[in-house]
A and B are shown apart, each in its own frame.
Chain A
Amino acid sequence: MSTIAALHGSAHRGSRLRDVLTRAVEAATTPLLPADYLDLFAPLRSGADLRGRIVAVRPETADAATIEIKPGADWAGHVPGQYLRVGVDVDGVRQWRAYSLTHGPRRDGLISITVKAVPDGVVSNHLVHRSRPGTLVHLEQATGDFVLPPLTGEPKFLFVTAGSGVTPVIGMLRNLFPVTDSGVVGLDRPLDITVVHVAPSEPESIFIDNLRELHAAGAIRLVARYDDVHGVLDVDRLDELVPDLGERTTYACGPTGLLDALAAHHEARGLELFTEQFRPATLVTGEGGTLRLEKADVELELDGTATILDAAEAAGVLMPSGCRMGICMGCVLPMREGAVRDLRNGEITRAVPGETDPGGVPVQTCISAPAGACHIDH
Chain B
Amino acid sequence: MTTITQKADNPIAHLTPEDIEQIGAELDAIRQEVLDTRGERDAKYIRRVVDTQRKLELGSRAVLLFSAFPPAWLLGTAGLSVAKILENMEIGHNVMHGQWDWMRDPKIHSTTWEWDNASTAEGWKHSHNQVHHTYTNIVGKDNDLGYGIMRVDEEQRWAPMHLGQPVWAFINACFFEYGIAAYDLELGKNLRLPKEKRSEDFKRRAKDTLRKIRKQATKDYVVHPALSIPTGSFVPTLAANFVANLVRNLWSNSVIMCGHFPEGVETFERAAIPEKETRGEWYLRQMLGSANISGSKAMHLMTGNLSHQIEHHLFPDLPSNRYAEVAPKVKALFDKYGLNYHTAPLPQQVASAWHKVFRLSLPNGWLAETNMRNLPRQLGVLKKLTTGGPKVRRAYDAAQRRAARQRREAEAAAAA
A, B co-complexed: yes
- Is B275 among interface residues, defined by CB-CB distance under 8 A? no
Q: Are B103 and A36 in contact (CB under 8 A)?
A: no
Can you name the residue of chain A whose Cβ is closest to the Cβ of B216? A30
Q: Are A31 and B114 in contact (CB under 8 A)?
A: yes
Can you name the residue of chain A whose Cβ is closest to the Cβ of B130? A297
The 6 A-B residue pairs with the shortest CB-CB distance in the complex, in nearest-first order: A92-B43, A31-B114, A316-B101, A91-B39, A94-B104, A92-B40
- Is A93 among interface residues, defined by CB-CB distance under 8 A? yes
- Is B334 among interface residues, defined by CB-CB distance under 8 A? no
Complex CA–CA separation, A27 to B114 (angstroms): 14
- Is B394 among interface residues, defined by CB-CB distance under 8 A? no
Complex CA–CA separation, A363 to B352 (angstroms): 57
Question: Looking at the complex, which one of A24, A30, A92 makes contact with B42 (CB distance below 8 Å)?
Answer: A92
Can you name the residue of chain A whose Cβ is closest to the Cβ of B212? A31
- Is B128 among interface residues, defined by CB-CB distance under 8 A? no
- Is B393 among interface residues, defined by CB-CB distance under 8 A? no
Q: Are A37 and B115 in contact (CB under 8 A)?
A: no
Residues of B within 8 A of A92 (CB): 38-44, 102-103
Give, as a whole number of angstroms, the nearest-CB distance from B190 to chain A: 23
Can you name the residue of chain B whose Cβ is closest to the Cβ of A295? B111
Give, as a whole number of angstroms, the nearest-CB distance from B216 to chain A: 7
Question: Looking at the complex, which one of A28, A36, A316 makes contact with B224 (CB distance below 8 Å)?
Answer: A28
Interface of chain A residues 5 through 48 with chain B (CB within 8 A): 24, 27-32, 36-37, 40
Complex CA–CA separation, A92 to B43 (angstroms): 5
Interface of chain B residues 102 through 130 with chain A (CB within 8 A): 102-107, 109, 111-112, 114-116
Give, as a whole number of angstroms, the nearest-CB distance from A366 to chain B: 15
Q: Are B103 and A94 in contact (CB under 8 A)?
A: yes
Residues of B within 8 A of A29 (CB): 219
Known: A27-B218, A31-B114, A296-B111; 17 extra A-B contacts, CB below 8 A, are A27-B215, A27-B219, A27-B223, A30-B219, A31-B115, A31-B116, A31-B212, A32-B54, A37-B54, A40-B51, A40-B55, A92-B39, A92-B42, A93-B39, A93-B43, A93-B102, A316-B102
Interface of chain B residues 85 through 108 with chain A (CB within 8 A): 98, 101-107
Interface of chain A residues 23 through 81 with chain B (CB within 8 A): 24, 27-32, 36-37, 40
Can you name the residue of chain B whose Cβ is closest to the Cβ of A296? B111
- Is A236 among interface residues, defined by CB-CB distance under 8 A? no
- Is B34 among interface residues, defined by CB-CB distance under 8 A? no
Complex CA–CA separation, A94 to B39 (angstroms): 11
Complex CA–CA separation, A348 to B311 (angstroms): 46
- Is B74 among interface residues, defined by CB-CB distance under 8 A? no
Complex CA–CA separation, A30 to B221 (angstroms): 13
Q: Are B223 and A313 in contact (CB under 8 A)?
A: no
Give, as a whole number of angstroms, the nearest-CB distance from A346 to chain B: 29
Question: Looking at the complex, which one of B44, B98, B215, B227 makes contact with A30 (CB distance below 8 Å)?
Answer: B215
Can you name the residue of chain A whose Cβ is closest to the Cβ of B215? A30
Report which B residues bind A (CB closer than 8 A).
38-44, 51, 54-55, 58, 98, 101-107, 109, 111-112, 114-116, 212, 215-216, 218-219, 222-224, 227
Residue with the highest number of chain B CB atoms closer than 10 Å, among A31, A92, A93, A94: A92
Residue with the highest number of chain B CB atoms closer than 10 Å, among A36, A91, A95, A313: A91
Can you name the residue of chain B whose Cβ is closest to the Cβ of A31? B114
Q: Are A28 and B103 in contact (CB under 8 A)?
A: no
Complex CA–CA separation, A349 to B103 (angstroms): 31
Per-position 1/0 for A204-220, Cβ under 8 A of B:
00000000000000000
Q: Are B106 and A318 in contact (CB under 8 A)?
A: yes
Can you name the residue of chain B whose Cβ is closest to the Cβ of A314? B102
Residues of B within 8 A of A317 (CB): 101
Q: Are A93 and B223 in contact (CB under 8 A)?
A: no
Q: Are B223 and A24 in contact (CB under 8 A)?
A: yes
Residues of B within 8 A of A24 (CB): 223
Residues of A within 8 A of B212 (CB): 31
Can you name the residue of chain A whose Cβ is closest to the Cβ of B102? A316
Complex CA–CA separation, A200 to B201 (angstroms): 62
Question: Looking at the complex, which one of A30, A40, A93 makes contact with B103 (CB distance below 8 Å)?
Answer: A93
Complex CA–CA separation, A29 to B223 (angstroms): 10
Complex CA–CA separation, A27 to B219 (angstroms): 6
Question: Looking at the complex, which one of B41, B44, B104, B227 makes contact with A93 (CB distance below 8 Å)?
Answer: B104
Can you name the residue of chain B whose Cβ is closest to the Cβ of A39? B107
- Is A89 among interface residues, defined by CB-CB distance under 8 A? yes
Give, as a whole number of angstroms, the nearest-CB distance from B51 to chain A: 6
Contact flag A313-B54 (CB < 8 Å), given A27-B223, A28-B223, A30-B216: no
Residues of A within 8 A of B40 (CB): 89, 91-92
Residues of A within 8 A of B38 (CB): 92
Q: Are A37 and B58 in contact (CB under 8 A)?
A: yes
Residues of A within 8 A of B224 (CB): 28
Give, as a whole number of angstroms, the nearest-CB distance from B84 to chain A: 12
Give, as a whole number of angstroms, the nearest-CB distance from A297 to chain B: 9
Complex CA–CA separation, A332 to B42 (angstroms): 31
Give, as a whole number of angstroms, the nearest-CB distance from A270 to chain B: 46
Complex CA–CA separation, A40 to B58 (angstroms): 11
Give, as a whole number of angstroms, the nearest-CB distance from B18 to chain A: 28
Complex CA–CA separation, A28 to B218 (angstroms): 8
Give, as a whole number of angstroms, the nearest-CB distance from A259 to chain B: 31
Residues of B within 8 A of A40 (CB): 51, 54-55
Complex CA–CA separation, A31 to B219 (angstroms): 9
15 example contacts (A-B, Cβ-Cβ < 8 A) are as follows: A27-B218, A28-B223, A30-B216, A30-B218, A31-B116, A31-B215, A37-B54, A37-B58, A92-B103, A93-B103, A94-B105, A95-B104, A296-B111, A318-B104, A318-B112
Can you name the residue of chain A whose Cβ is closest to the Cβ of B37? A91
Residues of B within 8 A of A27 (CB): 215, 218-219, 222-223
Q: Are B98 and A316 in contact (CB under 8 A)?
A: yes
Q: Are A318 and B223 in contact (CB under 8 A)?
A: no
Residues of A within 8 A of B107 (CB): 36
Contact flag A89-B103 (CB < 8 Å), given A28-B227, A318-B111: yes
Per-position 1/0 for A82-102, Cβ under 8 A of B:
000000010111110000000
Q: Are A28 and B58 in contact (CB under 8 A)?
A: no
Residue with the highest number of chain B CB atoms closer than 10 Å, among A24, A27, A31, A94: A31
Can you name the residue of chain A whose Cβ is closest to the Cβ of B114? A31
Residues of A within 8 A of B102 (CB): 92-93, 316
Give, as a whole number of angstroms, the nearest-CB distance from B317 to chain A: 9
Can you name the residue of chain A whose Cβ is closest to the Cβ of B41? A92
Can you name the residue of chain B whose Cβ is closest to the Cβ of A29? B219
Complex CA–CA separation, A92 to B107 (angstroms): 13
